[in-house]
A and B are shown apart, each in its own frame.
Chain A
Amino acid sequence: MSILIVGLGFAAMLALMLLSIPVAVAIIAVGAFGGFLMYGMPLVDMMGGVIWSSLNSPSMLAIPLFMLLGELLLRGGIADRMYDAMAVWLARLPGGLLHTNVATCTLFSATSGSSVATAATVGTIALPALKQYQYDTRPALGSLAAGGTLGILIPPSINLLVYGSLANTSVGQLFAAGVVPGLLMALSFSVYIFIAHGKAGGKATALMETPLAQKLQMAKHLVPPLVIFGVVMGSIYGGLATPTESAAIGVMIALFFVALNRRLSVDLLIECSIQAAKTSGMVMIVLVCALLLNVTISMTGAAQAITQWIASFGLHQLSLLLVLLLFYILLGTFMDAMSMLVLTVPIVIPIVVTAGIDPIWFGIFIVIMCEVALITPPIGMNLFVVHGVRIDNGPYSDVVRGAFPYVVIMMLFTIVLMIFPGIVMWLPNLLAGQS
């Protein structure tokens, strides 16, 4: 198969997507039609079996279970008081509430799985407090937008699940690989806040002087999300449960906390079910279509064609990754994270694996690229939602400028990961007993 045909297929898919044809349709149109053109009906006839086997799989099941877990934590109001609970502890640090923004957004988006819900909930609570204590607008908005991106890297992450299915890699290992970079990135954000906005928040004395007893009392709001995170991750890392089983356990524990919070009702369960079904439906359908496209790609030799073509440039591993970095930044300016994953992973994985890059490492790389896409203008989703919850009617450029330093930090961080891949691979290797 020639590289020209592969390129045409990719361009056709992109063109359909840009015409706002549903992403699932764009993928399947090219996958099925391309397969038909190359091999006729036999290839197309295989698709029924592929639909059944891709749906009937544990990693597919993990998607709605993690979505349901996030919905329960969100709609059950379990995560709502996290901001206040963190603020009393972190206000004392140079940079004050900006750290709270990063920390709460990180934890909230990791547990709820939704950047829109994160911005809406944390933003609504944080912005009045930030205004009250006279924080500058831009850093405040920027830290909220950037903090909200970290949730897709810190497990449980739907993006990592989808990547795992597409790249045929272990979801447990991917989840392990996301932890250290996720926490280090949150830490880099905090270091930046220390350096650039260390004087911010000096007027938040009321928060700083909160009595210890009250601080401890408020810390109870952090218990449910931390327990769920600990049990879900601990059971995976401890080898007690698969990611799918840990999601199911998470759902049951979340139900317990919702009940403890005296919010458990049939209406709530129905609301969570409907929301989880919607979000799972939109993710699962693109995943099934991408897995069908995978069949065409492997049968027609498209992956080999593109791998050979890339290999002909004789790029060094690092240069290949830098090219991919630019490619993803460009793609991220107009595409959402899920579309980026399904469009590129089937083609890019054979290339990077041939170049000797570990697919687990690459999963983390690509998810960081998705995070960058959330806060790069013109349409970064997090920029938009944080701007949407502002109480004053300031310009959109405030949040764009506020978030820009974090884009730079993410880029630099990614380059560090390229040079020291061990930062990503340490935990998964440790758990696999290789180190």
Chain B
Amino acid sequence: MQTYARILGILFGTMMFLLSAVIMLETLLRKLFSISLGGIDELGGYAIAVAAPLAFTLALIDNSHIRINQLTSRLPSQAQAVLNAVAMLSIALLSIFFFYFTVETVLDTHTYKSIAQTPLATPLIYPQSIWLVAMLTFPAAAVILALRALARLIQRDWPSLLQQFGPVSAQQELQAELDDLKKRESYTP
């Protein structure tokens, strides 16, 4: 799962860095020479629509999706473990919900041969097909993780549910930052 996350992260970063370069070029050309590359806004919109599901998946694998655990952290650990499993199942349902509506939208686009309301008049089926593939990465990971959590629940494996599926605690987040700081301080170019 970590390799999967890394690949998604690299794809995400590549899109964002390339897009930043193109947007900067477009802005400079527009302001300095009144030239426009044309369609960069539109491209940016498609890029984020495709990149966002990858980011949802990464946040999921890292247990980073926002959960409020101020009250539940006071519950017995068994109850917290059960809630972790419920959270994983619920987010898998959310990912299926998203995917279902993505498929519906793309099918509609296909049926009506929808075209973007932009100067380029891009047929939406092209960017939306890539969006559909990107959107599939989310349920692909979410369902596997939910099934794992469900298996742990059936086995009554509370420690695993607590460790692997609990929200990232502030303590863990802080430790990660402190480790990174140490790495930066010891860095010599």
Chain A residues with CB under 8 Å of chain B are: 17-25, 28-29, 32, 45, 47-49, 51-52, 55-58, 60-61, 64-65, 68, 74-75, 77, 80, 114, 116-117, 119-121, 124, 235, 240-241, 244-245, 247-249, 251-252, 255, 261-263, 269-270, 272-274, 276-282, 284-286, 288-289, 334-336, 338-339, 378-379, 381, 384-385, 388-389
Contacts and interface: CB of A to CB of B under 8 A. Distances in A.
Contacts of A58: 41, 44-45
Interface in B123-146: 128, 131
A338 B66 contact: yes
Interface in B159-175: 167, 170-171, 173-174
Contacts of A269: 13, 17
A17 B66 CA distance: 9
Contacts of B108: 48-49
B150 interface: no
B94 interface: yes
Contacts of A381: 170
A51 B44 contact: no
B104 A45 contact: yes
Given A65-B19, A388-B174, 13 more contacts: A20-B167, A23-B65, A25-B87, A77-B187, A240-B31, A249-B24, A251-B16, A273-B17, A274-B5, A280-B55, A336-B68, A339-B66, A389-B174
B44 A282 contact: no
9 smallest beta-carbon distances between A and B, as pairs: A273-B13, A281-B55, A281-B59, A48-B101, A262-B189, A274-B9, A120-B177, A48-B105, A248-B23
A270 B180 CA distance: 14
Given A278-B55, A282-B59, A334-B70, A252 B187 contact: no
Contacts of B19: 61, 65, 248
A251 B17 contact: yes
Contact of B68 (A20, A56, A255, A282): A20
A336 B69 CA distance: 10
B158 interface: no
B153 interface: no
A270 B52 contact: no
Interface string B25-60: 011000100000000010011111101101111111
A75 B9 CA distance: 16
A378 B73 CA distance: 13
A25 B90 contact: yes
B78 interface: no
A75 B48 contact: no
Contacts of A272: 13
B21 interface: yes
Contacts of A251: 16-17, 20
A279 to B, nearest CB: 7
Nearest to A22: B65
Contacts of B49: 52, 55-56
A23 B105 contact: no
Contacts of B68: 17-18, 20, 23, 334-336, 339
10 contacts: A19-B83, A28-B97, A68-B13, A114-B177, A116-B170, A116-B177, A248-B21, A269-B17, A284-B55, A284-B56
Contacts of A261: 189
A270 B55 contact: no
Contacts of B90: 21-22, 25, 29
Interface in B83-101: 83, 86-87, 90-91, 93-94, 97-98, 101
A277 B54 contact: yes
Contacts of B20: 65, 68, 247-249, 251-252
A120 B183 CA distance: 13
Nearest to B69: A20
Contact of B9 (A20, A25, A273): A273
A80 B105 CA distance: 46
Contacts of A121: 177, 181
A274 B6 contact: yes
A23 B23 CA distance: 33
Contacts of B91: 22, 24-25
B8 interface: yes
A252 B65 CA distance: 28
Contact of A277 (B13, B65, B170, B180): B13
A132 B45 CA distance: 52
Interface centre among B46, B62, B93 (most CB of A within 10 A): B62
Nearest to A61: B48
